[in-house]
Amino acid sequence: MRSVTYSMGVSLDGYIVGPDGGFNWTAPDEKVFRFWIDEIRGVGVHLMGRRLYETMLYWETADQ
């Protein structure tokens, strides 16, 4: 049986992006990045909002 994990980015003002609409404040250090990559490898499905989806589209073809 698969498990369901819920994760959500939140802030005090209710927005995950900065005032300019960017995510540049979220850049993790190497240790955090490696941990997150290891976690993501086991995920079968991601459910995200439109704006995050559009941001993540870059990675579909980043190595081409």
Q: How sure is the predictor about 28, in pLDDT bands with cuts at 50, 70 and 90?
A: confident
Above 80 in pLDDT, residue 10? no
- Per the domain annotation, does 16 fall within a domain? no
The yes-or-no verdict on residue 4 having pLDDT over 80 is yes
Answer yes or no: is 4 within a domain: no
Pick from 25, 23, 29, 12: nearest CA to 48: 23
Does 54 score more than 80 pLDDT?
A: yes
In a domain, 12, yes or no: no
15 in a domain, yes or no? no
- What is the domain count for the chain? 1
Q: Please check the confidence at residue 55 and state whether its pLDDT lies above 80.
A: yes
Residue span of the structural domain in which 44 resides: 28-60
CA dihedral defined by 36, 18, 15, 7, rounded to 10 degrees?
Answer: 0
